[in-house]
Amino acid sequence: MTKTVRLTMAQALTRFLSRQMTEIDGKKVPIFGGVWAIFGHGNVAGIGEALYQVRDELPTFRAHNEQAMAHAAIAYGKANFRRRFMAATTSIGPGALNMVTAAALAHVNRLPVLFLPGDVFANRLPDPVLQQAEDFSDGTASVNDCFRPVSRYFDRITRPEQIIPALNRAMQVLTDPAECGPVTLSLCQDVQAEAYDYPETLFAERVWTPRRLRPDRHELAAAVAALKGARKPLVIAGGGVLYSQASGELAKLVQGAGIPVCETQGGKSSLPDDHPLNMAAVGVTGTSAANRLAEEADVVLAVGTRLQDFTTGSWALFKNAGRTIIGLNTQGFDAGKHWALPLVADASEGLAELSTALKGWKAPSAWTDNALKGKTEWQAAAAKATASTNAAYPSDAQVIGAVQRAMGSGVTLLHAAGGLPGELHKLWQAGAPGSYHAEYGFSTMGYEIAGGLGVKMAKPDQEVVVMVGDGSYLMLNSEIATSVMLGLKLTIVLLDNRGYGCINRLQMATGGANFNNLLKDARHEVMPDVDFAAHAASLGAVAEKVASIAELETALAKAKGNDKTTVLVIDTDPLVSTEAGGHWWDVAVPEVSSRPQVNAARKVYEEKKLMQSFGD
Ligand SMILES: Cc1ncc(C[n+]2csc(CCOP(=O)(O)OP(=O)(O)O)c2C)c(N)n1
Ligand SMILES: [Mg+2]
């Protein structure tokens, strides 16, 4: 007879989560770093009671906003290279839906997170309950169905025993490098509290190790043949290099064969910025060093990248007509994109096998030397953009220079939206793998501060520096208070250009009037003058407004000694961005307009569109 234990569904769930382990550096650790929770109707009585039972093995953390706590959970998974992750639970209705945007963020970025939103009563007796939407024609619909398209696995638990196969499936998805993404177990509130005789074996300790898929023989042979025939090979390193912790194998391959490397937003820090073969950022926000190689490359080895438009310059970047793209990716969907030669494998395993097969082969030295020269030229341009200044309104690049000088490359730098991603991708000199944390798959405003908190939980000994614009800050800043409460220090640099600077620039570039982006161009009775330092201080942070780049550097140096979250505010220029580097990006310009500026922009747009290649 199977031995059983009588538990509520929620108790079974939390007990199960607390028994899942992984091994990091030979040490067994819980795979779940904890559970973020905002309680309410639909989770306080069920999941809330169950989390209390396991609070010593599976800590619960309280936040101020469900989207933000989900950001923290997701950032934790990313900072752990997807080897460990967190869960997040909410009440039904608004609490649950507040996590949907974060679910999409994790879905796009292929990051593991377990969502446990409360759901309506499975028995429907008290319907409609508080916070329940009513569908006139579908009795099974609930607002939590919104999680379906943004979850890699979605299940609604309407009977207590359903949690048994659901947890199995959840763990498979969370730990599978190819399928990895958000899992949503939507927990009907009555079912959370229902008891069932669960088999004791469900709660046995399990140790999950990452699956490292090795390449198929034929795919490997085709990739090796393509690379051996290359005159101008180039590697694009994406986030998959970091998740696979393949930096060592990447360095070995490219050093052996003299192949230059460029990095996507997700893949930046795959090699340190000062690695001679690292051409750094590629694409729309790329360096001149990387982009001129991408234009000419005849074989592009794309490793662990989704090849999104910022990487490919909306498919106008690669100009060598006879080029071959090799897609080394653990996920077949990505490996075969744009008719690439697929090489389905874990990045580390795939790179190792390519190294072995290419032993003794070298790219033509003229190509490698040309790359090194291009890097030197780029470094001079970047140094100019980031140099110190006395300007009253410095550029984002000049602020980045100050942060880099004050903090070095040893910190973990985090950003997500606004003008900063482009500038940081080009200009930040990253150190160790994972030290550059960008959320630029979904580019969610409001990821920054909560994301920083998640990174700090994953790397408590690291200085975590968050760079954020005034727009993103105003959208979601509440977890500053949580960082103070948990004693998890962040250094937040807030660039106040009084509006949505990058969108204003995009508006101008597409012929638009300055309209509704900068505060001065928005309908107003009173011009807002937000005192960000006072605001951050009210949340418990150490906060200061600095008047210059020099003051910022001094304040950052001082902040290193603080053990409390520190917010440094600086006014910046909304109109300037770094001219050097970069590439065209496809943003559709209106075909007809009464504005001559729009018509002129449309003409340029139509010319640029001709650079795009289709069918590859
Ligand atoms: C949630 C969300 N809403 C809207 C956008 C579109 N968007 C991208 S950047 C941006 C402006 C960001 O303003 P700020 O943080 O001040 O940065 P700045 O552009 O001024 O550098 C907007 C509205 C987004 N990425 N995310
Ligand atoms: Mg701004």
The confidence score (pLDDT) of residue 1 equals 78
pLDDT tens digits for 577-589? 999 999 999 999 9
In angstroms, the CA 147 to CA 149 distance is 6
The confidence score (pLDDT) of residue 615 equals 62
Residues of the chain above pLDDT 70, percent: 100
Residue 416 · residue 448 · CB < 8 Å: yes
3-class DSSP state of 293 = helix
Going by CA atoms, what residue is nearest to atom 8 of ligand 1? 418
Mutate to test the pocket of ligand 1, among 502, 507, 573, 575 (most ligand atoms within 8 A of CB): 502
192: CA distance to ligand 2 center in Å?
43
Going by CA atoms, what residue is nearest to atom 7 of ligand 1? 418
549: CA distance to ligand 1 center in Å?
23
102: CA distance to ligand 1 center in Å?
16
**Does pLDDT of 595 surpass 80?**
yes
Average pLDDT of span 295-321: 97
Residue 560 · residue 463 · CB < 8 Å: yes
The confidence score (pLDDT) of residue 614 equals 76
On average, the pLDDT of the chain sits at 97
- Give kind and range of the element (H or E) at residue 386: helix 365-386
| Plot region of 581 (φ>0 → left; ψ -120 to 50 → alpha; else → beta) | left
In terms of Cα–Cα distance, which of 249, 177, 165, 164 is closest to 208?
177
pLDDT tens digits for 473-494? 999 999 999 999 999 999 999 9
Residues of the chain above pLDDT 90, percent: 99
β-strand partners of 35: 60, 87
517: CA distance to ligand 2 center in Å?
9
Which of the ligands is closest to the CA of residue 473? 1
Looking from the CA of residue 497, the nearest atom of ligand 1 is 20
The span from the first CA to the last CA of the chain, in angstroms, equals: 59
420: CA distance to ligand 2 center in Å?
9
β-strand partners of 243: none
Looking from the CA of residue 444, the nearest atom of ligand 1 is 26
In angstroms, the CA 565 to CA 537 distance is 10
Looking from the CA of residue 420, the nearest atom of ligand 1 is 21
- Give kind and range of the element (H or E) at residue 90: strand 85-90
**Does pLDDT of 522 surpass 70?**
yes
Which residues have any ligand 1 atom within 6 Å of their CB?
417-420, 443-446, 469-472, 497, 500-503
253: CA distance to ligand 1 center in Å?
38
Mutate to test the pocket of ligand 1, among 500, 521, 577 (most ligand atoms within 8 A of CB): 500
Which of the ligands is closest to the CA of residue 496? 2
Which tokens is 230 given?
């290359």
| Plot region of 499 (φ>0 → left; ψ -120 to 50 → alpha; else → beta) | left
The count of other CB atoms within 10 Å of the CB of residue 449 is: 31
Going by CA atoms, what residue is nearest to atom 12 of ligand 1? 418
| Plot region of 197 (φ>0 → left; ψ -120 to 50 → alpha; else → beta) | beta
Q: Which residue has the higher pLDDT, 1 or 188?
A: 188
Average pLDDT of span 289-296: 98
In terms of Cα–Cα distance, which of 52, 53, 119 is closest to 90?
119
Going by CA atoms, what residue is nearest to atom 10 of ligand 1? 418
For 134, counting Cβ atoms within 10 Å of its Cβ (0-12 exposed, 13-18 middle, 19+ buried), the class is exposed
- Alpha helical stretches, state H, 271-364: 288-296, 309-312, 332-335, 347-358
pLDDT tens digits for 420-444? 999 999 999 999 999 999 999 999 9
Looking from the CA of residue 470, the nearest atom of ligand 1 is 16
Average pLDDT of span 284-298: 98
pLDDT tens digits for 54-80? 999 999 999 999 999 999 999 999 999
The confidence score (pLDDT) of residue 24 equals 96
DSSP 462-495: S-EEEEEEHHHHHHS-THHHHHHHTT---EEEEE
223: CA distance to ligand 2 center in Å?
44
Which of the ligands is closest to the CA of residue 498? 2
pLDDT tens digits for 145-179? 999 999 999 999 999 999 999 999 999 999 999 99
The confidence score (pLDDT) of residue 616 equals 64
Residue 578 · residue 605 · CB < 8 Å: no
pLDDT tens digits for 191-238? 999 999 999 999 999 999 999 999 999 999 999 999 999 999 999 999
pTM of the predicted model, to two decimals? 0.98
178: CA distance to ligand 2 center in Å?
36
Going by CA atoms, what residue is nearest to atom 23 of ligand 1? 500
In terms of Cα–Cα distance, which of 40, 55, 9, 64 is closest to 117?
40
389: CA distance to ligand 2 center in Å?
20
